[in-house]
């Protein structure tokens, strides 16, 4: 029996360097959010001062609330539409132009955000829509529903078609078969898709800045405009909170997709 | 156990209160059914009658249309032409959930998110059965397939054999008028498969239910089914009992598909009382019993199963021209294949052809064994030969 090979020194060093490159800036940011000093780069002892400052900053709180509302509603709409698209593409009859349709669905995944944002802005201007909460929500739905569709479709693809047939054979009409068999099996992927859409929307700066209007800035827009006037330690505190929120969401999403794939194994044929 | 099956019948109720047809009565009639996928004619006009209580096997190579035919019976495909009558009613266009037919899927298709109990109860809940009745029926089914104690397990916590049993119990739970089994034993290993074959047959006899099984394994079909329909290129090539299929195949293709066979192309034929004397290129003149259906003008072949061929060192006493005449062919052993129960010898005939002979190893010591290049006489009676159009 061969022993499991240990990591060599080179491996350890490169791993440490890589992780440091990824996480050191974030660690520093988190650390300095607890800084008592007004100067960002000078350590002045531990303090929760900047968190207090943030919670007293009306404009910032409003931007955060706006971001959460946009993220939650766009994620919900995107999950609904993305799931429907995934079901249509993997379960529906083969229709003409299906390949083209699924290609078009995935195009926004690789489309530069500037283009998505600009084109949506042009659309909203042409429609004479008042820019604000709803335009950002619609724009984020456009961006994130493709991600949901990809996640849900890959789950549907790994599901055995004969499960639905078995349900129909045992007395379900097609809709009932979908609800009682397919839906419970793809639920983890739907949850993961929602979480993904939520974090994508929360993070987005480019598309939001194209499609939002005066007085309805999202948190990233607000932070960006503050930073242009100089970095306040308050920003560090906000960013730490956002990181914490996203970390929680990502952990839940990966747990959900892990659950989904472990069920997938049992669904696979022998 | 399910010695007494209560009168309440879920599937039949769902279908409008039909009673079970008595055994031997016609149950299913398939009339000129055809199905085309794109340009591929998967099923090209199949007609078949199946009686209640029958264990029928659809046998054929992959792509012959047997699975498509089964899926049309289950309702997953609608036939383009023809009718499917169940108890006199045309169900060809009915949806799967509207038919008193259940199917056991090849990969079992157990619901991974449901326990064994809930899998079996699934169809009963859909039929609107009372909760107490469902519990009774599930317990009955669990006992029937010997899964006691595993009711709370999920499918991924079961072995292959156990999953197969759950799938069977789930399909039987609604007491369908007809149970379809799509390669039900393909995923099991050989020993387990043989045991399960016996159990399935026992179950079918005990429940008096009608089974249609699809298989590509001719041994499986021969073991279990009372009647076999051999399919080729979307058509039924022959429908017969296992014995008839083996001993009196209707065509050269069937003879070759079912079991091993020696074939000699016929070149000329001569009538001689109740026998025909047929000239072949590879085996010289052979005397065969006159077939029931006269041999047409076209090409034909003589077929002899390997186990009908006897080998000996000297020729048996025979007089050509008498009723008891037998065919004797001289040759040398060209190949020996020891299979345990039998040994298959390939004999290179002096007339040029090859002949396979399967000899039972009836004694442990090798008294009857022949060695390579040994001269032997192969012989068989006229009745062992089948004349086939080719």
B75, B96, B107 member nearest A269 (Cβ): B107
What count of other Cβ atoms lies within 10 Å of the Cβ of residue B292?
Answer: 7
The pLDDT value given to residue A109:
84
Handedness of CA A261, A263, A264, A266 (dihedral sign): positive
Whole-angstrom distance, CA of residue A266 vs CA of residue B5 = 33
- Chain A residues close to B126, C-beta within 8 Å: 170-172, 176
The pLDDT value given to residue B12:
42
B20, pLDDT greater than 70: no
CA neighbor of B15 nearest in space, from B134, B208, B175, B213: B175
Q: Which residue intervals of chain A are DSSP H helices?
A: 9-32, 49-56, 58-91, 98-110, 113-126, 133-158, 161-169, 174-177, 183-203, 206-211, 219-228, 233-267
B296, pLDDT greater than 80: no
Closest chain A residue to B102, measured at CA: A169
Tell me if chain B has a CB within 8 Å of the CB of A167.
yes
The pLDDT value given to residue A242:
86
Lowest mean pLDDT among B25-39, B84-98, B253-267, B273-287: B273-287
With beta carbons less than 8 A apart as the criterion, state whether A237 and A33 touch: yes
Lowest mean pLDDT among B102-106, B301-305, B313-317: B313-317
Query: Are A270 and B163 an interchain contact pair (Cβ–Cβ within 8 Å)?
Result: yes
Tell me if chain B has a CB within 8 Å of the CB of A159.
no
Lowest mean pLDDT among A16-30, A118-132, B202-216, B314-328: B314-328
With beta carbons less than 8 A apart as the criterion, state whether A45 and A36 touch: yes
Tell me if chain B has a CB within 8 Å of the CB of A176.
yes
B18, pLDDT greater than 90: no
Tell me if chain A has a CB within 8 Å of the CB of B277.
no
The pLDDT value given to residue B349:
93
Q: How confident is the model at residue B377 (pLDDT cuts 50, 70, 90)?
A: very high
With beta carbons less than 8 A apart as the criterion, state whether B290 and B385 touch: no
Q: How confident is the model at residue B291 (pLDDT cuts 50, 70, 90)?
A: confident
Q: How confident is the model at residue B15 (pLDDT cuts 50, 70, 90)?
A: very low
A270, pLDDT greater than 60: no
The pLDDT value given to residue A93:
67
The pLDDT value given to residue A264:
45
Q: How far is CA B226 from the centre of its chain?
A: 9
Q: Number of A to B CB contacts under 8 A, please give it.
A: 76
Q: How far is CA A195 from CA A159, A188, A200, in A?
A: 22, 11, 9
Q: How confident is the model at residue A4 (pLDDT cuts 50, 70, 90)?
A: low
Give me the interface pTM, i.e. the ipTM: 0.80
Lowest mean pLDDT among A161-170, B90-99, B362-371: B362-371
Whole-angstrom distance, CA of residue B274 vs CA of residue B334 = 34
Tell me if chain A has a CB within 8 Å of the CB of B122.
yes
Tell me if chain B has a CB within 8 Å of the CB of A163.
yes
The greatest distance separating any two alpha carbons of chain A, rounded to the nearest whole angstrom, comes to 72
With beta carbons less than 8 A apart as the criterion, state whether B55 and B211 touch: yes
A265, pLDDT greater than 60: no
The pLDDT value given to residue B362:
85
CA neighbor of B186 nearest in space, from B210, B147, B157, B219: B219
pLDDT, one tens digit per residue, over A38-63 is 877 788 888 888 888 888 888 888 99
With beta carbons less than 8 A apart as the criterion, state whether B245 and B254 touch: yes
Query: What letter would DSSP give residue B312?
Result: E
Whole-angstrom distance, CA of residue B55 vs CA of residue B210 = 6
- Chain A residues close to B74, C-beta within 8 Å: 165, 169
Q: In this structure, what token pair is assigned to residue A255?
A: 């747990």
Tell me if chain A has a CB within 8 Å of the CB of B37.
no
What global pTM score does this model have?
0.79
Lowest mean pLDDT among A140-144, A223-227, B75-79: A223-227
The average pLDDT across B198-206 equals: 91
Burial (Cβ within 10 Å: 0-12, 13-18, ≥19) of residue A46 = exposed
Burial (Cβ within 10 Å: 0-12, 13-18, ≥19) of residue A100 = exposed
Query: Are B123 and A171 an interchain contact pair (Cβ–Cβ within 8 Å)?
Result: yes
Query: What letter would DSSP give residue B290?
Result: P
Q: In this structure, what token pair is assigned to residue A172?
A: 């379900």
The average pLDDT across A6-19 equals: 88
The pLDDT value given to residue B24:
73
- Chain B residues close to A171, C-beta within 8 Å: 14, 97, 123, 126-127, 174
Please give the mean pLDDT across all residues of chain B: 87
Whole-angstrom distance, CA of residue B234 vs CA of residue A223 = 69
Whole-angstrom distance, CA of residue B249 vs CA of residue B251 = 6
pLDDT, one tens digit per residue, over B2-12 is 343 443 444 44
Q: How far is CA B223 from CA A121, B241, B327, in A?
A: 72, 11, 31
Q: How confident is the model at residue A267 (pLDDT cuts 50, 70, 90)?
A: very low
Query: Are B97 and A168 an interchain contact pair (Cβ–Cβ within 8 Å)?
Result: yes
Task: Give B378's contacts (C-beta < 8 A, 6+ positions apart).
Answer: B309, B310, B311, B328, B329, B330, B331, B347, B349, B355, B357
What's the Rg (C-alpha) of chain B?
Answer: 25
Query: Are A162 and B187 an interchain contact pair (Cβ–Cβ within 8 Å)?
Result: no
The pLDDT value given to residue B14:
41
Full DSSP string of A33-46: TTB-SSSTTS---B
pLDDT, one tens digit per residue, over A75-113 is 999 999 999 999 888 876 667 777 888 888 888 888 898
Tell me if chain A has a CB within 8 Å of the CB of B78.
no
Closest chain A residue to B161, measured at CA: A270
With beta carbons less than 8 A apart as the criterion, state whether B252 and B389 touch: yes
Q: How confident is the model at residue A137 (pLDDT cuts 50, 70, 90)?
A: very high
């Amino acid at each position: 029996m061969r022993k499991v090979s240990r990591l060599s020194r080179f491996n350890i060093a490169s791993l440490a360097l890589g992780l440091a490159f990824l996480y050191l800036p974030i660690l520093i940011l988190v650390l300095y959010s607890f800084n008592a000093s007004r100067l960002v780069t000078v350590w002045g002892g531990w303090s929760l001062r900047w968190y207090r400052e943030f919670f007293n900053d009306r404009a910032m709180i409003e931007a955060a609330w706006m971001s959460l509302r946009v993220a939650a509603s766009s994620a919900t709409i995107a999950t609904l539409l993305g799931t429907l698209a995934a079901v249509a593409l993997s379960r529906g009859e083969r229709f003409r132009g299906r390949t083209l349709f699924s290609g078009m669905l995935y195009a926004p995944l690789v489309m530069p955000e500037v283009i998505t944002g600009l084109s949506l802005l042009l659309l909203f201007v042409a429609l004479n829509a008042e820019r604000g909460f709803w335009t950002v929500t619609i724009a984020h739905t456009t961006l994130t529903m493709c991600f949901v569709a990809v996640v849900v479709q890959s789950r549907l693809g790994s599901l055995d078609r004969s499960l639905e047939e078995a349900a129909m054979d045992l007395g379900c009409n097609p809709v009932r078969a979908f609800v009682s068999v397919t839906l419970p099996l793809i639920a983890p992927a739907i949850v993961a898709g929602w979480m993904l859409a939520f974090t994508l929307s929360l993070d987005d700066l480019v598309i939001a800045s194209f499609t939002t209007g005066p007085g309805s800035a999202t948190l990233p827009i607000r932070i960006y405009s503050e930073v242009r006037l100089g970095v306040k330690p308050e920003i560090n505190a906000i960013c730490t909170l956002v990181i914490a929120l996203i970390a929680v969401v990502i952990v839940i999403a990966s747990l959900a997709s892990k659950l989904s794939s472990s069920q997938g194994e049992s669904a696979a044929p022998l | 156990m399910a010695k007494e099956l209560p009168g309440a019948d879920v599937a039949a109720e769902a279908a409008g209160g039909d009673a079970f047809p008595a055994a031997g009565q016609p149950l299913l009639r398939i009339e000129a059914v055809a199905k085309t996928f794109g340009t591929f004619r998967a099923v090209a006009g199949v007609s078949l009658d199946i009686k209640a209580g029958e264990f029928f096997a659809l046998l054929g190579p992959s792509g012959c249309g047997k699975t498509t035919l089964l899926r049309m019976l289950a309702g997953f495909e609608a036939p383009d032409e023809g009718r499917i009558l169940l108890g006199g009613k045309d169900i060809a266009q009915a949806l799967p959930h509207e038919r008193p037919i259940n199917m056991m899927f090849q990969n079992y298709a157990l619901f991974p998110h449901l326990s064994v109990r809930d899998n079996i109860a699934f169809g009963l809940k859909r039929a609107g059965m009372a909760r107490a009745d469902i519990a009774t029926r599930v317990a009955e089914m669990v006992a029937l397939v010997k899964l006691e104690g595993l009711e709370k397990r999920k499918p991924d916590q079961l072995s292959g054999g156990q999953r197969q049993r759950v799938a069977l119990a789930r399909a039987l739970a609604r007491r369908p008028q007809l149970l379809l089994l799509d390669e039900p034993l393909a995923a099991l290993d050989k020993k387990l498969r043989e045991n399960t074959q016996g159990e399935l047959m026992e179950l079918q006899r005990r429940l008096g239910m009608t089974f249609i099984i699809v298989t590509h394994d001719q041994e499986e079909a021969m073991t279990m089914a009372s009647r076999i329909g051999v399919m080729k290129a979307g058509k039924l090539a022959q429908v017969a009992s296992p014995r008839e299929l083996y001993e009196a195949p209707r065509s050269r293709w069937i003879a070759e598909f079912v079991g091993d066979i020696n074939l000699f192309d016929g070149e000329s034929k001569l009538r001689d009382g109740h026998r025909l004397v047929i000239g072949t290129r590879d085996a010289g003149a052979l005397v065969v019993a006159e077939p029931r259906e006269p041999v047409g003008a076209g090409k034909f072949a003589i077929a002899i199963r390997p186990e009908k061929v006897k080998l000996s060192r000297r020729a048996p006493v025979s007089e050509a021209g008498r009723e008891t005449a037998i065919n004797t062919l001289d040759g040398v052993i060209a190949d020996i294949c020891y299979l345990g129960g039998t040994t298959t010898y390939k004999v290179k005939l002096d007339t040029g052809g090859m002949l396979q002979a399967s000899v039972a190893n009836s004694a442990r010591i090798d008294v009857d064994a022949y060695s390579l290049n040994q001269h032997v006489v192969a012989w068989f009676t006229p009745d062992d030969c089948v004349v086939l159009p080719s």
